[in-house]
Structure 1
């Protein structure tokens, strides 16, 4: 039975990005998937581009396909519509009004052979003649599409509180909120952390705690902190692995004794120096290790949850029965991926002997994108082959080389097909273990959240060290986690793993030029949610000044002069209620930020704000520089005398008109 996916009264749409499935746009697709951006040409036919911009709302669901070739997954919209950054234009198939929406991945497909749906030509289907389309008939779509391809039954009208993170809308365990300065990233971590702990969506928390009830939400957040359910740390250039995970720290001097001191690890002895009042050392746990151990202690014990081992014969009997039903129920060929990413077709299953029969392309397995170009070549895999592989390997990842790890170990000659059969068997086994766990109805383990503010300001590769691999979902510790990994920590020599119920929530300022980009290995293990300026949160009338239009004008110009990451966030203006407060916000926050953006070229501030905010000193008579450049060979002082010198105007001397002129174009 498929797992329910509660939509909480939100609609679900189809989005096909098949027009990006070109050699030119291959890099763009990879970038969009990494950022969880969903895009569409604003001029798509039949008003579909406009509907993507105006009809789609935050909280709505979208299943994404690349034409009828590939499924990306089911996403939930988290951001407003925005113009695609100009720097991505060269990767687009055409010059048009391309826009995007930020989203979070909810469910990944369990199958990708969507050519089996070519006969389903309804508009909501991948093969349907539509780009953006609302899925109205969920009963039909569940039966033909969502259940077989996502193992999910979509339920439209479940109440919001039933949208559980662990079941219906699972959010990534490692995620980063990123965006320009002042977009509320740290502010939003309070909402996201409480949502994770209570198993609901961000939207549910916002609805329960509107801005007027922010103080109540903060109290709840602080209670979770006191209960050690939420941890908080800020990365910086001096932050190290020893601060984050564990390190050797000196203790206050004592008399020379070989005794354990407070704070020392169990089994560790202090190492005193020579002489009275010697310095002693102990291994101290960092916040990450503390949070991991606290979360691990809340996981079910062996007594609470023990998965039943399935004997191979019983497992294989269920497996071939499952494959037989799959062939009968699938409208088209049943295609499986090979280790190299090609496809082979399962044509027959012998329920008595367990033999599997495959059809494949001439001389090699067929191209996965062209599964019907077969020449009728057949080969078989008997039960004995996967049985031997099952005894040798606990994971498909342990098979690195098909010849040495399969043929040399278990014999036979169809090494690729043996790998396919074993891979599908392990998938089936995982699904059976998952069903066992669900049937036991164990109370879900409480979640824990570690917030890492300014995650890109630290040297993340050094801070996480060897623990980067342990962050992956399938490498985390927990009952039923068959691929969980454990490492030995360098100082304490203790065994360590990252539990499945710990969430990492980072923030990242995209305009910070003082730090490098995130380590690639770490970036691949995190999900990213973009936080953009939201002018609608500002007032339209502060002593006659439209704050919303002013911020829009500033950011439009900054994107033209710089890029998408160097804009101004709404949070810098949220507390402004009169002209004096607006002047203070410009003096303390906005002008210094623009000076940093245009370092060495302050004249461009005038292109953003106008001439009232900046003066060219050697052009205005009243602002001429007092001292001229002296003569000195071999320099030509004329070259420098003509160089423009700019000074910021005293903001307190400006009238309201100067701020209005930012957006009122005469």
Structure 2
């Protein structure tokens, strides 16, 4: 049998039975990079092994076992209604702490409060247990496992002779109820490296010497200590229309920037509030270009409206990269307690009114104040109270930056020296204000991530939009590791705290046809129609005839899969509306079907009214749709007139059987 034939037999019950087997036969293999984990009711299962067990390992002996991959396993679980996944190497959280005198005296290493604080574990079920394995690696002592009952707020006690003040305690969260505690003394090979990572107690890195082989697989190079998110830097959510791609981008974006929400309505409001700040949303299209996305020459009118000049204007991607860089610099100043705030931060803060509202900024200059009324990445334009704007005075931004870094003006000694000195004084004053603001705000929010959402990314010409920047978005090319020169002549790199989320409608373009340069730089997450989600939402809304709606939705998609492919299914969101089901079908579903089948109305009519078979030849239940015959006969158009229930169909059939000879309905 082929892999597909084996997988097609699977049911949710098979998966449930396979989950049960993990209690008696634990999975011995550690997390492997790229292997997905299914999260189900606080338990975590490796998806490939889970499907193997659900099929009694028949996949090993299939005709083409190599076609069974982790992605295939994950997609099958999604099809069966399981949707919560983790990458195996992204499921761990680390907390690094230096043992204090109090820790040693009380011999209290970790308690349940600490578990909650360090790892964000929700302690809801009072009967749950947590397991903490203690490693004393420096003296090769046997590991100790301690069972914790969450309801008792227990503590782990270890012998005071086993660790000392100054030792490093590495807590590792491996799941909802599984933790490691690694005691590292100054005799340990890793001690000095770990010690240097203790600026903010958080340790998330992979470039350190690991002594215990069992811990090697825990360190994931994708971890970012400031981000505290498991989302990939570059991802594309793909699927047919109406499967919740936009919903997912909104919630993912808020999760990445660390904004909490209670429901989707609240998430939408918070999302709108963050637009233009920490989140950008761009709808891609065929005419979208590099100049719109990154940077290009644009015509600009002079302030008096008499002249037109051309200057480089940043696109949406360049602008959000600029904001992400500024956010990075804010944290750098905060974390290092740097008394000198970064120039770019101060400049943005000092001239915010001019940048955002085009309001001139007045600079004190003794008895002759002057106004800066225009600026760009290279130049500041100003006017004095004695002159009109027809006389344009300029200050070079680079020179101003050099003077600010130096702390005093020894660079310009004549000409515009007085103006440079006054701007320097203005910036120093603003720097003090900003420093105070940063100290207050960053203590409250330590998330520095930004997100750009590229909606319908497959509609744009990716090579034309990204240009040479496509290489810069890779994780190991960011933060200056690879730099390009923009048309304006300035160097450009993509910061590591900028997350890119794309959406892709598979009904428009198959994922197989996506630009290969894009495919290898993004992680792809599928979203397909889900009857369970539909049923849950309809129950919450109190919609009538839920089963009829869900069954029609599921059977219609089975037909579409057989006639077209999974990429053309109808999303569950179309069927979630409060509208009458016939209205939904006529106004939203029928237009999609007509488009999918190239307006071959005879084929669409057969799909709606005749019983169909799937690709394996199995009969698909009839949709029980009645069309308006008059509209079809007179105008050649499809219009759904009624939906017959199963009971009604059976009643009609029974009445026909009663009125006609019985042998007509007898199978011979």
TM-score by length of 1: 0.48
| Rg (Cα) greater in structure | 2
TM-score (norm: length of structure 2): 0.48
Greater share of helix: 2
